[in-house]
Amino acid sequence: MLQGKTALVTGSTSGIGLGIAKSLAKQGANIVLNGFGDAEGPQAEIAALGVKVAYHGADMSQASEIEAMMQFAADTFGRVDILVNNAGIQHVAKIEDFPIERWDAIIAINLSSAFHATRLALPAMKAANWGRIINVASIHGLVGSAEKSAYVAAKHGVVGLTKVTALENATTGVTCNAICPGWVLTPLVQKQVDAKAVAMGLTNEEAKKLLLQEKEPSMQFTTPEELGELAVFFCSAAGNNVRGVAWNMDGGWTAQ
Ligand code: NAD
């Protein structure tokens, strides 16, 4: 379905980003990976799916590095047809204790990076009259949780940016939508499980169960593969007129 298209997925060396990259690669899209840590393993996993893969290690908190990454993608594959703004970090603390440096980093990586990548991707998408911008927001783009001020503010911002991007391009073949996952058991969430286990003297399994119990009626984690299939739907012809939605995959979190 996506043969000949190129997808750039930010923060795709791990977790949800890697899951979405694999789902798009299975549909034939060439992939530009980004993120920290081991890049060779993820590159090999994508290449094994029979598509071309490239990697750029831009720090998504830096506008100049995002510009270099977008230029690299255009130089390597011609243009970016599918942009998945996924890179993100978390920090948990009450507002009065929240380190200023963590606030700034979360706003830069979780929100401003999506603005920068989007503004740089749009001209080529509009010229081709086809494009898909998929913002990985969160259920925290729709509801709040205590001790997550920067994350919740950034993710609500991402949902707002999604709507404006969709509206500004509504008469073109470029769509923009957000994905709002509940709990997904990636390194980002495992850190929160570990903190809960230490604070409450629980085993890993007990802490995971408690985390789910607090928020998710399904008592199940959403998987990167499930989120990848939602991204594939947004890229399909059936997604042509899906514009500016924030689509939950949250085990019933926000239905309550
Ligand atoms: P993760 O920690 O597994 O992956 C995060 C990715 O972002 C990694 O590839 C990491 O290297 C990259 N990254 C971090 N800082 C970066 C930077 N400055 N520059 C470039 N890359 C950077 O986390 P994840 O759970 O897969 O999170 C992916 C996205 O999904 C995030 O935006 C997160 O907020 C969102 N999300 C996660 C959950 C969840 O339950 N895990 C739920 C809702 C939304």
Over the stretch 147-184, which tens digit does the pLDDT of each residue have?
999 999 999 999 999 999 999 999 999 999 999 999 99
Residues 201 and 105 in one domain: no
The rounded radius of gyration (Å) of the Cα atoms in the chain is: 18
Q: Is the CB of 14 under 6 A from ligand 1?
A: yes
Question: Do the domain assignments include residue 1?
Answer: no
In a domain, 228, yes or no: yes
pLDDT one digit per residue (tens) for the chain, 256 residues: 999 999 999 999 999 999 999 999 999 999 999 999 999 999 999 999 999 999 999 999 999 999 999 999 999 999 999 999 999 999 999 999 999 999 999 999 999 999 999 999 999 999 999 999 999 999 999 999 999 999 999 999 999 999 999 999 999 999 999 999 999 999 989 999 999 999 999 999 999 999 999 999 999 999 999 999 999 999 999 999 999 999 999 999 999 9
183 C-beta closer than 6 A to ligand 1: yes
Residue 9: what pLDDT?
Answer: 99
Helix, strand and coil content of the chain, in percent to the nearest 5, comes to 50, 15, 30
CA–centroid distance, residue 159 to ligand 1 (Å): 16
- Give nearest CA residue, ligand 1 atom 12: 11
Closest ligand 1 atom to the C-alpha of 151? 34
0.75 exceeded by the pTM? yes
Give all strands of the β-sheet with 82-85 in edge-to-edge order.
53-56, 30-34, 6-9, 82-85, 131-136, 174-181, 246-249
CA of 12 to the centre of ligand 1 (A): 8
Q: In this structure, are 55 and 124 located in the same domain? A: yes
Q: What is the pLDDT of residue 58?
A: 98
Which token pair is 248? Answer: 């939950």
Domain ranges, residue 192: 185-221
Instruction: Output the pLDDT for position 50.
Output: 98
Cβ–ligand 1 contact at 93 (below 6 Å): no
The confidence score (pLDDT) of residue 80 equals: 98
| Token pair listed for 89 | 């970090």
User: What residue type is 212 in one-letter code?
Assistant: L
Is there a single domain that holds both residue 65 and residue 146? yes
Helix-helix angle 15-26:224-235, to 10 degrees: 50
Active-site residue list: 151
Distance (angstroms) between ligand 1 centre and the Cα of 13 equals 9
pLDDT at 60: 98
Same domain, 173 and 194: no
Instruction: Judge if 58 and 170 occupy the same domain.
Output: yes
Residues 30 and 69 in one domain: yes
Q: Closest Cα to atom 7, ligand 1: which residue?
A: 11
Decide: 188 in ligand 1 pocket, CB within 6 A. Answer: yes
Domain check: are 152 and 121 in the same one? Answer: yes
Q: How many domains does the chain have?
A: 2
Residues 90 and 193 in one domain: no
Indicate if ligand 1 lies below 6 Å from the C-beta of 248.
no
CA–centroid distance, 36 to ligand 1, in Å, is 10
Is 50 in the same domain as 128? yes
Q: Give me ligand 1 centre to Cα 14, in Å.
A: 7
Residues 166 and 43 in one domain: yes
Backbone angles phi, psi at 13, to 5 degrees: -85, 0
pLDDT of residue 146: 98
131 lines ligand 1 (CB under 6 A): no
Nearest CA to ligand 1 atom 9: 11
One domain, residues 84 and 129: yes
52 with 118, same domain: the answer is: yes
**Does a structural domain hold residue 33?**
yes
